[in-house]
Structure 1
Amino acid sequence: MKNIRETLSNLIISHWNINGIAGKCSELKQYVQDRRLHIMMLNETKLNSERNIKITNFKCIRKDRNERGTSGGVMIYVREGIRCHEVPLDTKIIEAVAIKLENNLVIVSAYKAPGNKLDSRDLNLIFQTGSKVFMYGDFNVKSTAWNCRFTNTRNSTIFDFAENYLCEIHYPDNFTSYPYNSTFPSTVDTDISKNIVCDITVDAINEFDSDHLPVILSMSISTAKLEMEIRTFPNYKKANWGLFRKLINKNLTLSRSIKTQADLDRSVNDLVSVIHNAMEKSIPRNSC
């Protein structure tokens, strides 16, 4: 295994109210890989602590609702190599899980059930976790400002908070929610961001047979670039073994007399160096 470092100038994030992850594992894993995501945020996972859903080359931070997976639950998948740590949150109404990247950007996956009133105290708690905060979620807040047919009363809390704390609200141009029991689609998935000076594009993706569409966000982070470690592995199936043998025979010297421990150490180091150099030139590497 070999680590290399790549500077990310464009962070690809997706958010999806998955409305139960257990029956959509295959779709989710394929979606994450096909879209080459860096971060996947989920709402309404409906999991309990007894069930783990793994995605290859991703680490998972999650918070399940206490009602044994009957509803709710939030989760963030982060591509391996992106350095981050979980930020503890103790919110009351908003279900939320958060991570902080090495460039100090806090990313939050959040969900508010439709029967609950949005609490500004939860918003204050979340946005006090860092100087740069990006939160995306399904808040079940409707507004004509983001293409809904009407504005509900829960909307004012988000607008008031965004205005008081100089936050921005982003949303896709197309709808994100197509309720099974209603003929009227709406947009209930939005983001709230603070002190993020960059271009953010948001698009809802009509890809799954679901009442909620996943949303993809492209975040240009050129003002606060993020380094990512990428693990690579030799692809022995595509190795040029003829070239490998030729390089070994050309560069390996066996005439040295080994009389002391120091002679042995030098010979071993020379052998390892010759093998590594031959591998670099004859065996391609794949990243995970």
Structure 2
Amino acid sequence: MVSDNYPTIISINELGTVIPNKLIKRLLFSYNVYTKEGTNSHGGAVLAVDKKLKCHQLDIKEPNIIAVQTLINDKEFVIASIYSPPAEKLPISAMTTLLNQGKNILLIGDLNAKHQDWGCPDQQ
């Protein structure tokens, strides 16, 4: 799918220890690949950004969240890949910090968000 569509940005969540980081970087060789380990055996977040875009990784001290700042068409963007395990609370503090980075923010991921409107007995 990547070779057919060549997306500019790829977010992957819930890889855990199944796929080693070296293999991800080898498969996505035309991307700058940023990874963050998770808090469980299948957690973690990966963000792959086309090497044509200049970007730098943001210092997020939370597991399961990786974020970069980049320039696209002369506009600054913050892009984050987030995995929130089902048994854990949403990382609201880290998400708020990311949202305060500017006005062009993309929060992408598997949030496992819970809400009664979605048929979940719990709400987060």
Change (3 A) 1:133 1:122: same
1:129, distance to aligned residue in structure 2 (A): 2.7
Q: Percent same amino acid at aligned positions?
A: 21
1:90 aligns with 2:65: no
Task: Give structure 1 stretches of 5+ with no counterpart.
Answer: 1-30, 156-288
Q: Is the 8 A contact 1:141 1:152 kept in 2?
A: no
What is the count of residue pairs matched by the alignment?
117
1:60 aligns with 2:33: yes
- Residue 109 of structure 2, aligned match among 123, 133, 137: 137
Task: Give structure 2 stretches of 5+ with no counterpart.
Answer: none
Q: Which has the larger radius of gyration?
A: 1
* Structure 2 match to 1:77: 48
Change (3 A) 1:154 1:125: farther
- Residue 99 of structure 1, aligned match among 68, 71, 80: 68
* Partner Cα separation in structure 1 for residue 51 and residue 15 of structure 2: 21
RMSD, matched Cα = 2.4
1:141, distance to aligned residue in structure 2 (A): 1.5
Cα displacement string for residues 44-63 of structure 1 (whole angstroms, at most 9, x for unaligned residues)? 12139x74122131110111
* Structure 2 match to 1:238: none
- Residue 16 of structure 2, aligned match among 46, 61, 67: 46
Q: Is the 8 A contact 1:112 1:118 kept in 2?
A: yes
Within 5 Å, give how 1:1-288 maps onto structure 2: 31-47=1-17, 51-52=21-22, 53=24, 54=26, 55-65=28-38, 70-91=41-62, 95-102=64-71, 103-143=75-115, 148=118, 150-155=119-124
Structure 2 letter corresponding to 1:62: T
* Partner Cα separation in structure 2 for residue 34 and residue 144 of structure 1: 39
1:42, distance to aligned residue in structure 2 (A): 0.6
Cα displacement string for residues 142-189 of structure 1 (whole angstroms, at most 9, x for unaligned residues)? 4576xx4x145334xxxxxxxxxxxxxxxxxxxxxxxxxxxxxxxxxx
Q: Is the 8 A contact 2:69 2:78 kept in 1?
A: yes
Change (3 A) 1:51 1:122: closer
Q: Is the 8 A contact 1:118 1:154 kept in 2?
A: no
TM-score for the superposition, normalised by structure 2: 0.78
TM-score for the superposition, normalised by structure 1: 0.37
